[in-house]
């Protein structure tokens, strides 16, 4: 049987990480990996999370299962974090899943059952796992224009022109904030126009929010998802706690559905319970328990918000420093967009050949489409990177 399998292409990011580890040059710089790193290259455990773990160690009395869709207290604190008071609770159904990726997968499974004729629309470009998972589930997909390749800003006219072709019942994936891989994001006016278009077309928004708090702030980053929840009769949300709580390996994600009314909420909740049972039965609890404790305890929450703000402003500072260094090296402002983008990622606009030269000649590692991780920068490496970019013709 197994001989009938075909070799699968390697994940480009994981492959790049392997190449970086094998590189023996002590000057090597990793801008490819998709996790937050501090100035020392570490991915630390956040202070509040560590305190919550210590409390949990002393207080936890069982390792028994919670519920098929996870603990209700986790649902409640996450609904408040992501949606605030934008929608009544009787319209919300939940399912805790293994990471944001697991949440996306469960949503796609739900779409296939609930709307088998739907097409899933996604930005061009988007996170590579979006099209891979949609294809894996077997749902038709199309892309909409997103990035102006010259200005590195959102091509909003192109986006709206493409989405005008969506039909009733189609699903539109939107990055809630900190667009991956571009770093270019919708402004509040544009979010409003997107909401109006989706309502007019009868399309269903599917918001993937994985970086809340990394862009303009916890509340500001939730503007789009909350606006859509207020205006659209139905909505799908995948939320990840990997980045803003720093609990990558705990695999903590959440599905939230917004239904038209309480009756449809009950249907959605029943289906989410069934999908969890079919795919992995009970979700892992440790990460969700920590998130619940941090968000429920005023002291822990204040410490978490303070550290998250340090992370956010630190990345903004690094963005400005790299943009300034490139301005000095090039004598132009063509990389000024780096300082305007938000989140962990931006695309430099280099060719794949230039990216290879950065890796081979300068030991600087980034994804082939020139997406780089802002958190991989530091004050020492920024001048080196700026000079190298110019040296390869950037």
- Cβ atoms of 97 and 314 closer than 8 Å: no
Confidence at residue 25, expressed as pLDDT on a 0 to 100 scale: 94
Burial bucket for residue 306 (CB in 10 Å: 0-12, 13-18, 19+): exposed
Confidence at residue 14, expressed as pLDDT on a 0 to 100 scale: 86
Question: For the chain, what is the total number of helices (H) and then of strands (E)?
Answer: 15, 11
* Residue 130: HSE in the Cβ half-sphere, 13 Å Cα cutoff: 25
Residues 95, 98, 100, 101, CA torsion sign: negative
Enclosing H/E stretch for 37:
none
Active-site residue flag, 297:
no
Q: Which residues of 215-249 are buried (b: 16+ CB within 10 A; e: fewer)?
A: bbbbeebbbbbbbbbebbebbbbbbbbbbbbbbbe
Confidence at residue 342, expressed as pLDDT on a 0 to 100 scale: 97
CA-based nearest residue to 355, from 129, 31, 21, 14: 31
Please list the rounded mean pLDDT of every run of 10 residues in the chain (394 residues).
Answer: 91 88 93 88 94 96 95 98 97 98 98 96 96 96 96 96 97 98 97 98 98 97 98 98 97 97 96 96 97 98 98 97 96 95 95 96 95 94 96 91
Confidence at residue 40, expressed as pLDDT on a 0 to 100 scale: 85
Active-site residue flag, 243:
yes
Q: What is the DSSP letter of 9?
A: P
CA-based nearest residue to 212, from 308, 87, 301: 308
Confidence at residue 8, expressed as pLDDT on a 0 to 100 scale: 87
Confidence at residue 173, expressed as pLDDT on a 0 to 100 scale: 98
159 three-class SS = helix
Q: Which of 37, 51, 243, 357 is catalytic?
A: 243
- Cβ atoms of 329 and 364 closer than 8 Å: no
Q: Which of 30, 155, 170, 208 is catalytic?
A: 208
Confidence at residue 338, expressed as pLDDT on a 0 to 100 scale: 97
CA-based nearest residue to 122, from 146, 155, 150: 146
Burial bucket for residue 61 (CB in 10 Å: 0-12, 13-18, 19+): exposed
In angstroms, the CA 224 to CA 207 distance is 9
What the block records as the tokens of 344 is 């962990």
When computed from its CA atoms, the radius of gyration of the chain, rounded to whole angstroms, is: 21
Q: Which of 51, 52, 127, 155 is catalytic?
A: 127
- Cβ atoms of 94 and 270 closer than 8 Å: no
In angstroms, the CA 226 to CA 88 distance is 12
In angstroms, the CA 139 to CA 257 distance is 19
Confidence at residue 160, expressed as pLDDT on a 0 to 100 scale: 98
Confidence at residue 255, expressed as pLDDT on a 0 to 100 scale: 98
- Give the DSSP letter string of 262-304: HHHHHHHHHHHHHHHHHHTSSPP-HHHHHHHHHHHSHHHHHHH
- Cβ atoms of 32 and 366 closer than 8 Å: yes
Active-site residue flag, 93:
no
**H-state helical runs in the chain:** 12-22, 47-59, 72-83, 99-114, 129-137, 156-163, 188-201, 218-221, 223-231, 262-279, 286-296, 298-330, 337-340, 352-362, 381-391
- Cβ atoms of 261 and 92 closer than 8 Å: no
Confidence at residue 39, expressed as pLDDT on a 0 to 100 scale: 84
Active-site residue flag, 127:
yes
Q: Which of 166, 210, 323, 339 is catalytic?
A: 210
Q: Please, what is the Cα angle at 77 between 73 and 83, to 5 degrees?
A: 135
């Amino acid at each position: 049987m197994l001989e009938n399998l075909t070799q699968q292409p390697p994940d480009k990011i994981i492959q790049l990480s392997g190449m970086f580890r094998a590189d023996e040059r002590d000057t090597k710089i990793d801008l490819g990996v998709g996790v937050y790193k501090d100035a020392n290259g570490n991915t630390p455990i956040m202070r509040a999370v560590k305190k919550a773990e210590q409390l949990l160690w002393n207080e936890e009395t069982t390792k028994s299962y919670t519920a098929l869709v996870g603990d209700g207290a986790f649902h409640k604190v996450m609904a408040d974090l992501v949606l605030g008071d934008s929608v009544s609770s009787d319209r919300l159904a939940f399912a805790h899943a293994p990471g944001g990726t697991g949440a996306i997968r469960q949503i796609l499974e739900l779409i296939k059952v609930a709307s088998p004729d739907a097409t899933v629309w996604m930005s061009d470009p988007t996170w590579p796992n979006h099209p891979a998972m949609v294809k894996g589930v077997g749902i038709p997909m199309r892309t909409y224009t997103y990035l102006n390749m010259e200005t590195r800003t959102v091509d909003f006219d192109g986006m709206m022109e493409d989405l005008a072709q969506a039909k009733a019942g189609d699903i539109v994936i939107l990055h809630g904030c900190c667009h991956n891989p571009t770093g270019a994001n919708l402004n509040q006016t544009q979010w409003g126009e997107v909401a109006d278009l989706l309502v007019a077309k009868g399309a269903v928004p599917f918001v993937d929010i994985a970086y809340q708090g990394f862009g303009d702030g916890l509340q500001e980053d939730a503007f789009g998802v909350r606006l859509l929840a207020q205006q659209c009769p139905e909505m799908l949300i995948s939320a990840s706690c990997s980045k803003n709580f720093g609990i990558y390996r705990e695999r903590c994600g959440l599905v939230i559905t917004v239904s038209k009314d309480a009756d449809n909420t009950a249907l959605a909740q029943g289906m989410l319970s069934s999908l969890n049972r079919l795919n992995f039965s009970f979700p892992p609890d440790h990460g969700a328990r920590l998130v619940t404790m941090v968000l429920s305890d005023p002291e822990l929450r204040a410490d978490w918000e303070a550290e998250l703000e340090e992370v956010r402003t630190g990345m903004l500072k690094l963005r400005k420093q790299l943009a300034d260094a490139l301005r000095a090296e090039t004598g132009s402002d063509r990389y000024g967009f780096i300082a305007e983008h938000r989140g962990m990622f931006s695309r430099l606009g280099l060719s794949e050949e230039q990216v290879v030269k950065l890796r081979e000649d300068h030991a600087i590692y980034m994804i082939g489409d020139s997406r780089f991780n802002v958190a991989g920068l530091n004050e020492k490496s920024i001048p080196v990177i700026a000079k190298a970019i110019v040296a390869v013709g950037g």
